[in-house]
Structures are given as structure tokens and as C-alpha cells.
Amino acid sequence: MRVLRCRPRGAQSRTDLLAKLDRSCGPNLGRSGRAAAPRTCAVGLHQARGELKVAKSAFITGITGQDGSYLAELLLGKGYTVHGLIRRSSTFNTSRIDHLYRDPHDPEARLFLHYGDLSDGSRLVTLLNEIRPDEVYNLGAQSHVRVSFEEPTHTGDSTGIGTMRLLEAVRMTGLDCRFYQASSSEMFGASPPPQNEDTPFYPRSPYGAAKVYSYWVTKNYREAYGLFAVNGILFNHESPRRGETFVTRKITRAVARIAAGLEEHVYLGNLDAVRDWGYAPEYVEGMWRMLQADTPDDYVVATGTGASVRDFVVAAFEHAGLDWERHVRFDERYLRPTEVDALVGDASKAKALLGWQATVLPGSLAQIMVEADRAALECEGRVHIDTVQLPGWPTPGSVHG
């Protein structure tokens, strides 16, 4: 069943939202060169049941990305106050979280955005010192594996050294928080599946190598400084909010457009690569559970089910009643200089210690994404946001409540 969630005509645009953001939290967003005292927008207070209560607070880098938007949605539904780091841009990059945002003047507002970057260590120190969050989730990175071969230095700086800057900011501010590092199955690279927490790392891309660096510095800060710091080694996790250049979303978006008669072909690279694809909203709950544990540790998060790119293509096209072989074309430009043949995770530890287990497998995931992309086409010209297909997930009303 498809659920349409289009923003009504006349609703606040991203221009309106970011303009209000700039006016209300200017100094916190880097609009002033002067040091600023903490403002109301950096205070985690909200009204609940007639009493003023201090909400648990979280700071998320990469909040405008797929994982960041779902994590913000989940935490808001749990009553958190959420602070997100966003990069200043002349174009809009907040579409995944517009449905969560409220004017900071609203006493019920619990989502606050701050300009900054993982390349700017001093800004990270300033923000963490002002916000004093209970939990820090480092999801920010240059996260496209193929692009990391074209931008290796930038990938190393943002995906690798950026983690060190954030950990140092936590240490320098004396922040008593719990720290989550978004590690990746790409760290395993050429190591054969199934991969678990004890599998040797053998990265096959600049992205994978940068993630290995982040993994070890996170572990080092846990052991050297006693930080509650964990690595979530997440295998591929997708959703309707996945970027359009990632292969799963490229496939499901093309299926929707081909079914609508808007396109005829989609061009792909290696169809034989095997991945363990899961549903991103389930995976961000795994992140949260890691920080609720009694002791910090590292966990693999995966479905345990492998599927090739070809398998995903077949599932997506068949769901729309299309013959994939008529529409899929090969383009060698999408091949990587060094390929990773198979990534399939063993999440037994997360199941045993966190009670986390994936319920959405690759075939169902492809169907969810195709349905969302077809629904998005019906909303073309307006903003569309998917509805999470999980029991008990926060509704828009509970997120803002």
C-alpha cells in the first residue's frame, strides 16, 4: 500500500525554514565572527504534561543525509532534543528533514540546526561546549565509495580525520557523553563473508580505508580516555531517502520513471557484486541501542542475507511488472578500480547483546523503495517524504508532540 505524503501547496518552503533558522540562531550557525553565549535554541528544554522538563539531547553530524534524517525522526519520537550539524550552502540541502523542522521560536521545537563542518575542529569544540549533548552520533562523511576514488584526499579528510576532530572536541570540552561512530562494511573489503566483529579489515577503496582509520581512533579514544565510544559496523542499508546516485536508489527511481513512460533505460556497472542490503530505519535504531548499552563495544549490523545487484534489479523491475533485461544497460564508467565481490554480515552479537535483528530483507526493501519512488512521481513539483514501513515507528504527530 502506497502512502502519499506531499507537502500541501502554501506550506512553508525550505527558503522560509532556512530564513527563520538564520534569524533565530544566527550566531550559533556561524553568522557572527564573535563568540556567542549559548542561545535558547541550544537549550534542551521543552514543555511536557504541563511541566518544564529537561529532555535527553543528541548531536548528529550528517543530519541531512539518509541515516541522519531517520535518526533525528526516531530520537524526536523518543522525546529527545536533537541538534544537527549542517554545512552552509547556497543551495538547499535539508529536504530529508524539512518535515521535522519547527520555527525555533515555537516552545515545542526540539530540532535545532547549526552551521559547521567536520573540517573545522574549532567550530566543533564551540558547538559541543554550548550544546553539551548526552549523545553524539558521527554520521557525517563523504560516503560514496565510487566517488572516493575521484576525491581521495577529501574523503580522507572528512571521513577519516573528521572523526578525529570530533573525538578531540569531545575530549577537549570534557563532555560526558556517549559517542557513536558510523563505521562501514566497506572496511572488510576483500575479506570473505560472512563478516563479523572479528573479521580482518581489507579495504578496497579510499572510503573503506578512511573508515578503518575512524574505527581505530574511536576504539583508541575509548581505551585511552575512557570515553563511551562505539563503532557501529553497518552493512549496506537503503531506503527511499537514499541519494539518487547510489545504486539501489538509482534502480528503484529508474523503475518508477520507466513504468510511468518517462524513461526507457538505466545504466549500471557490476551486476554480480553481492551486498547485504537492509532497511535504513531499522539500522538507525541499532545505532541508538548501542548507546543505551551498559558498556561501550563495537557491533556489526546486517541482515545476514546476501543479494547481488542483479537480484535487486530483478526484484525492483518485477514489482512494477517490467522485464529488466529490456531496460538495463551496462556502462563501464560505473565500475570501481578495485571491486569488492561480496559483503554479507553476521549480526549475532547485536542480536544477543542489544536485542536487535533486521526484519526487512533485500527483496522487500526493493519493493518498499519502488513504491516510494512511484509515490514521489505523483507528488512531482512538491516535496515528498516517505512513510517508514515499520511497526511502532514514530508518526509525524508524535515527532512534533
Catalytic site residues? 184, 186, 207
Residue among 233, 221, 138 at smallest CA distance from 180:
138
> Is the four-CA dihedral 102, 104, 110, 115 of positive or negative sign?
positive
Question: Using CA atoms in the order 259, 265, 267, 268, what is the torsion angle rounded to 10 degrees?
Answer: 50
DSSP string, 159-217: IIIHHHHHHHHHHHTT---EEEEEEEGGGTTTSPSSB-TTSPP---SHHHHHHHHHHHH
What's the Cα-to-Cα distance from 153 to each of 141, 149, 161, 269, rounded to whole Å? 12, 9, 10, 24
Strand intervals (E) in 272-378: 274-275, 278-279, 299-301, 307-308, 328-330
Q: How far apart are CA 315 and CA 212, in angstroms?
A: 32
